[in-house]
Amino acid sequence: MSTAVPAQASAAVLQPSEPISDSAISVQGPDLEKNLSLQDLLKSYERIGFQASSLGRAIDIVNRMRKWRLSDEPISVDESEDYIFPEIRAQTRCDIFLGYTSNLISSGLREIILYLVKHKHVAAIVTTAGGIEEDFIKCLGKTYLADFNMDGADLRSRGMNRIGNLVVPNDNYCKFEDWLLPILDTMLAEQQATGEVWSPSSFIRRLGKEINNEESIYYWAYKNDIPVFCPALTDGSLGDMIYFHSFRNPGLILDIVRDIRALNELSRKSKKAGMIILGGGVCKHQIANAMLIRNGADYSVYINTGQEFDGSDSGARPDEAVSWGKIRADAESVKVFADATLVFPLLVAATFARD
At residue 6, φ and ψ (nearest 5 deg) are: -55, 130
- N- to C-terminal Cα separation, the chain: 73
Q: Which of 200, 202, 198, 135 is nearest to 168 (CA)?
A: 135
State the catalytic residue, choosing from 272, 284, 326, 335: 326
CA-to-CA distance for 200 and 285, rounded, in angstroms?
17
CA-to-CA distance for 41 and 47, rounded, in angstroms?
11
Q: For residue 194, count CB atoms less than 10 angstroms from its CB and return exposed for 0-12, middle for 13-18, buried for 19 or more.
A: exposed
Q: Give catalytic status of residue 326 as yes or no.
A: yes
Q: For residue 183, count CB atoms less than 10 angstroms from its CB and return exposed for 0-12, middle for 13-18, buried for 19 or more.
A: middle
Q: Which of 254, 252, 221, 263 is nearest to 97 (CA)?
A: 263
Residue 317 DSSP SS3: coil
**Catalytic (active-site) positions:** 326
